[in-house]
Amino acid sequence: MPFQATPMFPGDLYDTTLRVAAAAPVVETFESQQASETWQQFLALGWQGVLVSEADGGAGASLADMAAVLEAAGRHALAAPLVARCAVLPALLHDLRGQPAVAQLLAQVASGEASACPVLEADAAAALRCTFQGEGDAPVLTGSLRGADLTEPATHLVFLARTANGEDVLLLAARDALPGLARTWLGVDARQTADIALEGVRLPAGAVLARGEAARAAAARARDVGALMSCAQIVGAMGAMIEQSIEYLSTRQQFGVALSTFQALRHRTVEMYVAYENVRGMVRQRVLAYGAGHAGGREIALVKLYLSMTARRAAEDCIQLHGGIGMSRELPAARLAMHALACSLQWGDRYAQLDRLVATDAADAAVH
């Protein structure tokens, strides 16, 4: 019996992204100086400006609209920095848009003239030391800028650094203002990530967007959005994995009968389907709640923790239903499985979410 996954938020954004993602070639290259044709289409469509407010030149759409884009991209295991640049960046800069540099960047991002890469991993700030010297307290950077997603070229980077006394600093810099040796590697999902070594790099005073609690709060809010939108990608990948697994089992034969007649394989497929329906409902509800303004840091951590484990199980089941890793490596199902695994690790893996939940519960217990 065929199966067609129902999108969480159907509409034009979902359909358009699905068409672009379906036509995207599988490209495995290291840091490129030229945007891919697929990314250029997304820039032309204005996907970077979906969550940017209308006052800043964007569409001012809802988080559900962005989730529709990401679910559709996840169905084709698209290795593009959509979460980072189209969802995390607007969330990070939303409360800072009163600053001229931020307002200008958001307008350029919304129009596709610029593409800014946020670097906000939990340990990223500790790896990059920031000191203030000279006229106007210009920041000087020494250390490593870790975890920059440069799958597509970035014109700017927005990142965290830390002072000697432990104060977090949120900084904005043009990509060419950060010279240094970049170590770049290719992930299992064909995503390009780089660590950039910096030694005494001086930025203008205007590069500082926020310090202390304001910087931490902005980063925490952006990480929540990143975790939630990664979940939307996982939902898309899981739906496509089930579709392809059912089609494979229905068309392939063993011992003269279709694989779909084997009870053990049918049971495994049903388990995948039940898990998919569960996570689809969880993510949809949390996207709507968070988009409506309900605080949801702890709830998002719980959903991301659950999806991180469920995505791994679904990826393993999908590969096994296609005959194992040796038989499925060249199939689209294997790329979907790797994509789901990679998304489960991005913007806080299950261990990071567990740490966050423990810290939150400990803080609540201390108060009460």
Burial of residue 25 (CB within 10 Å: 0-12, 13-18, 19+) is exposed
Residue 329: the pLDDT is: 66
Interval 320-330: pLDDT, tens: 887 776 666 67
What is the C-alpha to C-alpha distance for residues 98 and 115, in angstroms, rounded to an integer? 19
Residue 24 confidence (pLDDT) above 90: no
Reported confidence tier of residue 263, pLDDT bands at 50, 70, 90: confident
Residue 5: the pLDDT is: 87
Q: Where are the alpha helices (DSSP H) in the chain?
A: 12-23, 37-45, 63-74, 82, 89-93, 100-111, 213-251, 263-291, 297-321, 325-328, 332-345, 350-367
Of 173, 91, 94, 92, which Cα lies nearest the Cα of 130? Answer: 173
What is the C-alpha to C-alpha distance for residues 182 and 193, in angstroms, rounded to an integer? 10
Residue 100 CA neighbour count, 13 Å, CB half = 1
Of 102, 364, 132, 354, which Cα lies nearest the Cα of 214? Answer: 102
Residue 248 confidence (pLDDT) above 80: yes
Mean pLDDT within 178-187 = 84
Task: Note the pTM of the prediction, 2 decimals.
Answer: 0.92
Rg (CA), the chain: 21
Residue 88 confidence (pLDDT) above 60: yes
What is the C-alpha to C-alpha distance for residues 74 and 66, in angstroms, rounded to an integer? 12
Share of the chain above pLDDT 90, in %: 64
Angle at 136 between CA 134 and CA 138, to 5 degrees: 60
Residue 362 confidence (pLDDT) above 90: no
Mean pLDDT within 13-42 = 83
Residue 33: the pLDDT is: 65
Average pLDDT over all residues of the chain: 89
Residue 28: the pLDDT is: 58
Interval 41-75: pLDDT, tens: 999 999 999 999 999 999 999 999 999 999 999 99
Residue 193 confidence (pLDDT) above 70: yes
Residue 117: the pLDDT is: 96
Structural domains of the chain sorted by starting position, each given as residue range(s) with its CATH number in brackets: 12-115 (1.10.540), 117-212 (2.40.110.10), 216-367 (1.20.140.10)
Residue 89: the pLDDT is: 97
Pairing of strands 208-211, 192-202: unpaired
- Close Cβ partners of 40 (under 8 Å, ≥ 6 residues apart): none
Residue 363: the pLDDT is: 78
Residue 123 CA neighbour count, 13 Å, CB half = 8
